[in-house]
Structure 1
Amino acid sequence: MAQSLSSFADLIRSVERSAVHLETRDVYAISNEDEGFAAWKRGHRLDPEDQESWWRPWLDLVQEVTAKGVVIRRARIVGEPPSEYIRYEHSFTFTNVAAGEEIRWLPRRQASDLALPGNDFWLFDDRIVQFNVFDGDGRWVNTDQTDAPAVVQLCSTAFNAVWEKAIPHDKYVI
């Protein structure tokens, strides 16, 4: 299923309690990040004091949803030493935190004893799972959604297991 940013925004706006996101890849090839990633490679870093320069559409949405009392948590399972992309992602994660997301990092070697779904996912209010499927190079392929109770339970259990072991963003040093 193809999903537009506006349809995803509508979905996350419909959340009443929680939205959790598990990321498991060390590289993402997201076209709207190409310019920022290239600038980061040249030495550019976001200024924590200049909030207007941050990626606004997502951060505005997070602020809107968390202001309603929704908890948004993101856990990232990462290889160590981290890939160049993960170092880039870590460098601006403070913006997600400032917008209201809670973010933790789990070194991949500490995830070996966890049962995990095969794809990244969002879980909305413990009732809808949205899998984000990527190809081997990290390019988004499609989105699959399900409300099948067994899949919802698998993803909820997996996320919570990762979350419990993971390191809060402000304590995870790259």
Structure 2
Amino acid sequence: MTFEEMLASAQHSAVHLEMRDAYVPDDPSFIAWQGGPSYDRTQRERDWHQLIGGARARGVVVRRARIVSEPVTDYIRFEHSVTDSMNIKAGELVRWLPRRRASDLLLPGNDLWVFDDHLIRFGFFAGDGRYLGEELVRDPSVIKQCLTAFEAVWHRAIDHAEYRLV
């Protein structure tokens, strides 16, 4: 099942929990942001806006929470710099939680998307941020645990408009 199909299956919510300080080191957008060869993100953003916009039009609330170490890494600086144009403009709600404020939360071992209360997509990454694959889980008890963790993060996290990088 593709990500697009998973999002299309959502009827009321899609939540994304990100807990890494670096992702996809060979991302052309990130490389350009660092001063490498230029890269036009226009089509990438347009595709994301269309995907999220379709979900939002169906009434799906899309929330993204990012747990970050401070001071933040260059990759998190990059993510923060493109969040308005990529995520917020698409219709996502985005919050940031400094890792030091998450010490007493019970969190899953991997990043995840939860679609409604019926499907989790765990994402697996190498230590350097390279994407390794995913696992789909439909176990209601695992879904409940992950949604509880996400809500705890969301409750403490700072709205993107108010979060200042350290």
Tell me which moved more, 71-80 or 60-69.
60-69
Deviations, residues 62-112 of structure 1 (Å, cap 9, x unaligned): 111111110000000000010000000000100211110000000000000
Displacement of 1:30 after TM fit?
A: 5.7
Distance 1:137 1:55 in 2: 24
Instruction: Describe the SS at the equivalent of 2:161.
Output: helix
- Is 1:21–1:74's contact at 8 Å kept on the other side of the alignment? yes
Distance 2:18 2:71 in 1: 17
- Is 1:80–1:107's contact at 8 Å kept on the other side of the alignment? yes
Distance 1:30 1:141 in 2: 13
- Is 1:30–1:140's contact at 8 Å kept on the other side of the alignment? no
Displacement of 1:19 after TM fit?
A: 0.3
Distance 2:36 2:22 in 1: 19
- How many matched pairs? 163
Moved over 6 A (4+): none
Query: What is the aligned partner in structure 1 of residue 9 from structure 2?
Result: 14
Superposition pairs for residues 1-150 of structure 1, below 5 Å?
7-29=2-24, 31=26, 34-42=27-35, 55-95=45-85, 96-150=87-141
Tell me which moved more, 9-18 or 100-109.
9-18
User: What TM-score, normalized by structure 2, do the two folds share?
Assistant: 0.91
Displacement of 1:54 after TM fit?
A: 6.1
Distance 1:144 1:54, change over 3 A: closer
The yes-or-no answer on 1:156 pairing with 2:120 is no
Displacement of 1:172 after TM fit?
A: 0.4
- Is 2:25–2:128's contact at 8 Å kept on the other side of the alignment? no
Deviations, residues 94-131 of structure 1 (Å, cap 9, x unaligned): 02111100000000000000000000000000221110
Tell me which moved more, 16-25 or 147-156.
147-156
Q: Give the percent of matched residue pairs that are identical in Structure 1 and Structure 2.
A: 50
Displacement of 1:43 after TM fit?
A: 8.9
The answer to which structure has the higher helix fraction is 1
- Is 2:117–2:140's contact at 8 Å kept on the other side of the alignment? no
Distance 1:142 1:99 in 2: 25
Displacement of 1:42 after TM fit?
A: 1.8
- RMSD of Structure 2 on Structure 1 (CA): 2.1
Letter matched to residue 123 of structure 1: V
Distance 1:130 1:53 in 2: 25
Q: For structure 2, which runs of at least 5 residues remain unmatched after alignment?
A: none
Displacement of 1:168 after TM fit?
A: 0.3
Distance 1:67 1:20 in 2: 16
Q: For structure 1, which runs of at least 5 residues remain unmatched after alignment?
A: 45-50
Distance 2:93 2:107 in 1: 20
Distance 1:76 1:55 in 2: 19
